[in-house]
Amino acid sequence: MKHLTILVPDVQTANSTIACIVGAYQVFTGANDYRVRQGKRPLFKIETAGVAPEAAFINGLLTIRPQVDLASLDKTDLVLVPSLNPAFEQAVKGNIQLVDWLTRQYKNGAEIASMCTGAFMVAATGLLAKRNCSIHWNAADHFRSLYPEVHLKTEQVITDEQGIYTNGGGYSFLNLLLYLVEKYYDRETAIYCSKIFQIDIDRQVQSSFTIFTGQKTHGDELVKEAQLYLEANFRDKVSVAALSKRFSAGRRNFDRRFVKATGNTPLEYLQRVKIESAKKALETTRKTIQEVMYEVGYADVKAFREVFRKITGLSPLDYKNKYNKEAAGKV
């Protein structure tokens, strides 16, 4: 029988930490139960593990007592790391022990899966350096500032690379759990868990959930001024050459600084600002796709649709139908 460890951190936790722990325990227990009903042995021995006798969550409203002390757990096969406080700064106190233990287990052959902002803890081990990683879009800028060597893929729900799994934000950790059930058990068991827990299976992207606000905590005042200018004038025709000239910077140097500060090229940033405005119009008004397109500064329907789909993962019409029930179907 394989061993599954669900970590129970006791510092830098969030309200969602407990949801990840309980959800993971429930889904994998359900997968084991389904396997038993088929006349097979459970695949995993499932245990929660921590460094403290108990961990308090939601201002002490709930507590969890780990079943196993981490120091006594020498070998495991799969480790699930729950979400943490998105203001995570570094591994501290008990989390240092968790990070050290994670590193040892991975070197000993265990696989590691982080749920949402649990990626902060996995990144603190150094194991994610130069590897792909997904995380909640709202924590992406802070994550990049701490771990610039990690290849962040915020559009993806799940990444799977060399025995390390990560996933996007919120309750998309449930999609990661189904992915792991299919990988360790089989497709049939994953479908069963999908149905019994009513979780959409095979969800691949989280782009349509992203709210673009623009990273402005980078400290580069020239870039910040350029961002504010783009956000105020995105409906007009703005060329990157004219933008760099406006802020008295050479084009190549301007592009380099902009990418370093925001994670986007100036053109990508402008596109994201336009599409964010378009999304809000599609969500809250009865304007047609073409009306919205012209309003945000596009004149070509094909180009607008391509950029919209690239950023959100949906066509403008599909997005409208998903988020604006009143206007659904009005093209």
Angle at 114 between CA 147 and CA 18, to 5 degrees: 120
- Same-domain pairing of 10 and 67: yes
- CA 179, chain centre distance (Å): 15
Residue 329's pLDDT is 47
Per the CB < 8 A criterion, the answer to whether 292 and 281 are in contact is yes
Q: How far is CA 96 from CA 76, 81, 92, 181, in A?
A: 19, 14, 5, 29
The verdict on residue 216 lying in a domain is: no
Residues 172 and 238 in one domain: no
Do both 198 and 253 map to the same domain? Answer: no
Q: What CATH number has the domain bearing residue 244?
A: 1.10.10.60
> Does residue 197 fall inside a structural domain?
yes
How far, in Å, are 15, 16, 275 from residue 199 at the CA level? 21, 17, 29
- Whether residue 270 sits in one domain with residue 140: no
Domain assignment present for 330: no
Helices 187-196/15-37 angle, 10° precision: 120
What is the Cα–Cα distance from 223 to 50, expressed in whole angstroms?
A: 43
Three-state DSSP at 2 gives strand
How far apart (Å, rounded) are the C-alpha atoms in residues 43 and 28? 9
Check whether residue 175 and residue 238 sit in a common domain. no
- Regarding whether 295 and 202 lie in a shared domain, the answer is no
- In a 13 Å sphere around the CA of 269, the CA atoms on its Cβ side amount to 28
Are 81 and 184 members of one domain?
A: yes
pLDDT of residue 217: 76
Q: Does 288 map to a domain?
A: yes
40 and 172 share a domain? yes
Cβ-count burial 105-140 (b if 16+ within 10 Å, e if not) = bbeeebbbbbbbbbbbbbbbbebbeebbbbbbbbbb
CATH code where residue 193 lies = 3.40.50.880
Q: Are 94 and 57 in a shared domain?
A: yes
| pLDDT number for residue 116 | 92
The CB-side HSE value for 14 (13 A sphere, CA atoms) comes to 20
Length of the chain, in residues: 331
**For residues 190 and 89, what is the distance between their CA atoms, to the nearest angstrom?**
35
Please state, in angstroms and as integers, the Cα–Cα distance from residue 116 to each residue in 62, 183, 231, following that order: 20, 19, 29
In order of 44, 112, 137, 277, 284, the CA distances from 167 in angstroms are 22, 12, 11, 27, 29
Rounded distance between C-alpha atoms, residue 274 and residue 230, angstroms: 9
Q: What is the pLDDT of residue 151?
A: 92
Residue 255 belongs to some domain of the structure = yes
Which domain does 63 fall in, by range? 2-207
Give the residue from 146, 172, 207 where a domain finishes.
207
Note whether residue 214 is domain-resident. no
**Does 34 fall in a domain?**
yes
Residue at 133 is within a domain: yes
pTM assigned to the model: 0.70
The helix (run of H) or strand (run of E) holding residue 227 is: helix 221-233
**Claim to verify: residue 282 and residue 181 sit in the same structural domain:** no
How many structural domains comprise the chain? 2
Domain final residue pick, 178, 207, 236:
207
Q: What local confidence, expressed as pLDDT, does residue 331 receive?
A: 45
Residue 160 is predicted with a pLDDT of: 93
**Of 207, 232, 258, which residue constitutes the final position of a domain?**
207
Note whether 55 and 167 are same-domain residues. Answer: yes
Question: Do the Cβ atoms of 323 and 283 come closer than 8 Å?
Answer: yes
**227 and 251 inside one domain:** yes
Determine the 3-state secondary structure of 97 from DSSP: helix
Number of H helices and number of E strands within the chain?
13, 11
Contact 201, 191 (CB under 8 A): yes
The residues with which 156 forms a beta bridge, in sequence order, are 205
User: Per-residue confidence of the chain (331 residues) as pLDDT tens digits?
Assistant: 999 999 998 888 888 899 999 999 999 999 999 999 999 999 999 999 998 888 888 877 888 999 999 989 999 999 999 998 888 876 666 678 889 999 999 999 999 999 999 999 999 999 999 999 999 888 888 898 899 999 988 888 899 999 999 998 778 899 999 999 999 999 999 999 999 999 988 776 666 666 677 778 788 899 999 999 998 889 888 888 999 999 988 999 999 999 988 888 999 999 999 998 999 899 888 899 999 999 999 999 999 999 999 988 889 999 898 888 775 444 4
